[in-house]
C-alpha cells in the first residue's frame, strides 16, 4: 500500500484536529456534491475557508499522494537515470505531488507549487514546515493560474494532477502546450474514469505531436488501441485509511483504491514502457489470461498455462498495471 510519509501524516492529522468532525463532514459533503454535479473548478469553489481546505486535504491528499507516487515510480522504473533537481507542480493544492516527488527522487532540491486558492497555499506551507527533507521545507508556493499567455513553467519535471478536468474543454490543449513548452519531463494525471481517460489520451496525442517521447504507461506512440467509448485505460493504487483520514471518510474499510489515468512524456529521454497488464488477470485452473497493451500489436489477450513453467508462476503473481513479461522473465 502507498502510505503517507510519517511527517506528512502527522502534520495532516494535526491540521484536521483543529476542526470539529461535524464541520469537516459538512465541507466534505459540499465537495462531493460539487464533483458529482460535474461543476468546473470544484476544488477552487469550495476552498474558501480554513476548514474547507483542511477537509479537502484530509479527504483527497492521501489518495492523490498514492496515485502520484505510483505514477512517479513508473517513470523512475522506465528511466532509472532520471534524477530531477527542479519540480514545478501546477494546481498543486496542498502539495501532495511535492511529497510524492521527494519520496521518489531525493535528487530534488528546488520545489515549486503554483496554486490559486490562498487557503490551500497556507495549509500546504504548514504541512511542509515540519518535513524532514530540507527541499520540502524550502519549497516555494506561488499564487497563480494556468495561463498560456504567461511564461511557461521551466523545470526538470512539470506536473499537473487532477486539474485538466477542472478547465473548460476548449482551453485544455493550450494548457498542455503551455505546460510542456519549457519542461524536460511532463506528468499529467486525471481520475481513472472514462472522462478522465479521454482527457489524458487527448493530452497524450498532443504531447507526441509536440515532439515529446512517451515514457509511461504506453509501450508505443501509435494511436491508443483501446476502443473509445467502450473501455478506458486506467490503473489503481491502494492506500490505507489511517488517523484522521479514516474518520473523515466515515467508511468501514481500512483501505481504499484510488483509480487514475496518466501520461508521462519527456524531451530528453526516449524510452519505452514495457508491455503492460491492463486489467486484473483472469485466473482459471491451470491458466491465467492477461489483457495487455503491447508495443508491437496493441491490445492482446495472452494465455499463460502451467506448461509455461516459471512464466506461469509469474502470471499467477501478476497484478493490474504490471509490466509483462517481468524483467526477470524476458
pLDDT per position as a tens digit, 282-325: 999 999 999 999 998 889 999 999 999 999 999 999 999 998 98
User: Among 17-21, 45-49, 146-150, 190-194, which stretch is predicted with the lowest mean pLDDT?
Assistant: 45-49
Helix (H, G, I), strand (E, B) or coil at 46: helix
Q: What is the chain's mean pLDDT, rounded?
A: 90
**E-assigned strand segments in the chain:** 86-90, 110-115, 140-143, 155-161, 183-191, 213-216, 235-240, 255-266, 276-277, 282-284, 287-294, 298-305
**CB–CB of 244/55 below 8 Å?**
no
Question: Rounded to whole angstroms, how far apart are CA atoms 190 and 56?
Answer: 17
| pTM assigned to the model | 0.92
Beta bridge partners of 262: 189
Question: Rounded to whole angstroms, how far apart are CA atoms 159 and 171?
Answer: 17
Q: Residue 26: which pLDDT band, with cuts at 50, 70 and 90? A: confident
- Using a 10 angstrom Cβ sphere, with 0-12 exposed, 13-18 middle and 19 or more buried, the burial of residue 82 is buried
Please say if the pLDDT value at position 330 is more than 90. Answer: no
Question: Rounded to whole angstroms, how far apart are CA atoms 240 and 63?
Answer: 9
Q: Residue 37's pLDDT is what? A: 56
Q: Residue 240's pLDDT is what? A: 85
**CB–CB of 180/154 below 8 Å?**
no
Question: Rounded to whole angstroms, how far apart are CA atoms 31 and 299?
Answer: 37
Helix (H) or strand (E) holding 129: helix 118-129
Question: Rounded to whole angstroms, how far apart are CA atoms 236 and 67?
Answer: 7
Q: Residue 224: which pLDDT band, with cuts at 50, 70 and 90? A: very high
C-alpha cell at 21: 468532525
**Residue labelled with grid coordinates 500546504:** 124
Q: In the predicted model, what is the mean pLDDT of residues 116-122?
A: 93
- How many C-beta neighbours within 10 Å does residue 166 have? 16
C-alpha cell at 311: 512464466
Q: Residue 40's pLDDT is what? A: 42
Q: Residue 126's pLDDT is what? A: 96
Please say if the pLDDT value at position 260 is more than 60. Answer: yes
Please say if the pLDDT value at position 191 is more than 50. Answer: yes
CA nearest to 83, candidates 62, 108, 65 = 108
Long-range contacts for 122-125 (Cβ within 8 Å, ≥24 apart)? 122/50, 122/53, 123/15, 123/50, 123/53, 123/54, 123/57, 123/94, 124/92, 124/93, 124/94, 124/95, 124/98
Amino acid at each position: 500500500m502507498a502510505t503517507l510519509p510519517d511527517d506528512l501524516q502527522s502534520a495532516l492529522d494535526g491540521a484536521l484536529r483543529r476542526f470539529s468532525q461535524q464541520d469537516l463532514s459538512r465541507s466534505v459533503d459540499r465537495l462531493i456534491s460539487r464533483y458529482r454535479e460535474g461543476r468546473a473548478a470544484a476544488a477552487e469553489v469550495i476552498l474558501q475557508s480554513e476548514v474547507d481546505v483542511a477537509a479537502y486535504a484530509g479527504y483527497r491528499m492521501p489518495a492523490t499522494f498514492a496515485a502520484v507516487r505510483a505514477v512517479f515510480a513508473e517513470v523512475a522504473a522506465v528511466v532509472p537515470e532520471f534524477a530531477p533537481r527542479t519540480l514545478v507542480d501546477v494546481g498543486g493544492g496542498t502539495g501532495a505531488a511535492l511529497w510524492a516527488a521527494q519520496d521518489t527522487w531525493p535528487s530534488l532540491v528546488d520545489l515549486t507549487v503554483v496554486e490559486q486558492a490562498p487557503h490551500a497555499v497556507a495549509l500546504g506551507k504548514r504541512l511542509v514546515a515540519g518535513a524532514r527533507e530540507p527541499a520540502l521545507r524550502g519549497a516555494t508556493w506561488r499564487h497563480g493560474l494556468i495561463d498560456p499567455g504567461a511564461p511557461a513553467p521551466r523545470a526538470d519535471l512539470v506536473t499537473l494532477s487532477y486539474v485538466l478536468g477542472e478547465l473548460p474543454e476548449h482551453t485544455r490543449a493550450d494548457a498542455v502546450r503551455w505546460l510542456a513548452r519549457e519542461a524536460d519531463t511532463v506528468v499529467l494525471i486525471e481520475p481513472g474514469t472514462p472522462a478522465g481517460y479521454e482527457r489524458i489520451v487527448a493530452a497524450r496525442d498532443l504531447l507526441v505531436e509536440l515532439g515529446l517521447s512517451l515514457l509511461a504507461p504506453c509501450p508505443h506512440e501509435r494511436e491508443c488501441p483501446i476502443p473509445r467509448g467502450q473501455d478506458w485505460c486506467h490503473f489503481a493504487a491502494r492506500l490505507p485509511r489511517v488517523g484522521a483520514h479514516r474518520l473523515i471518510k466515515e467508511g468501514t474499510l481500512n483501505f481504499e483504491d484510488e483509480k487514475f489515468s496518466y501520461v508521462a512524456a519527456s524531451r530528453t529521454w526516449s524510452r519505452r514502457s514495457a508491455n503492460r497488464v491492463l486489467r486484473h488477470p483472469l485466473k482459471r485452473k491451470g491458466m491465467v489470461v492477461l489483457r495487455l497493451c503491447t508495443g508491437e500489436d496493441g491490445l492482446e489477450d495472452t494465455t499463460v498455462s502451467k506448461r509455461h513453467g516459471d512464466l506461469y508462476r509469474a502470471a499467477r503473481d501478476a497484478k493490474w498495471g504490471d509490466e509483462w513479461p517481468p524483467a526477470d522473465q524476458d
